[in-house]
Amino acid sequence: MASTVLLAAATNLRIDVRRLTSWFNDKFFADVSGPVTTERYKQYMPLEAGGGPLDHAVLREIREILPDYLAYIETLLSKRDWLASDQLSYADLAAAAHLSVAEYLGDMPWPQDGTAQRWYARIQSRPSFQSMITEAWRGFVRQRN
């Protein structure tokens, strides 16, 4: 099996990969995947550990901002096959990992034209993502959109 180079040799592409990987791991996590996980899981946590009922206002806010984040992904994909270049990179894996949280929990409003969703389906079809797709999280029932 051929290996995939996830960080390109060209300096400008390496910068884009690192910038986008950081954007998803920091900003997207802070605004979307972190809060949605906390909200969906806190009903299973003890009160003293931050548990309690769902805050539907937080989930509604996440659903309102997600289309903007997905539009950014669509913009990136309008220029190339993958997020940072014309080959799969760490940026794609970081993005897909964070998007998978919202999708798994049923909070993913995929855009109508489907570019981002088709990109995500390509990521999901990779063998490295297969185990994650079939994994079940304790206390959760996977939501299907």
Q: How far apart are CA 75 and CA 42, in angstroms?
A: 34
Q: What average pLDDT does the segment 130-140 reach?
A: 58
- pTM score: 0.81
Find the CATH number of the domain harbouring 105. Answer: 1.20.1050.10
The answer as to whether 143 is a domain residue is no
Residue 139 lies in a domain: no
The answer to whether residue 77 is domain-embedded is yes
Within a domain: 53: yes
The string of pLDDT tens digits covering residues 64-118 is 999 999 999 999 999 999 999 889 999 999 999 999 888 877 777 877 668 999 9
In a domain, 1, yes or no: no
Residue 3 has pLDDT above 60, yes or no: no
Counting the structural domains of the chain, the total is 1
Assigned domain for 4 exists: no
> Does 5 fall in a domain?
no
Residue 2 lies inside a defined structural domain of this protein: no
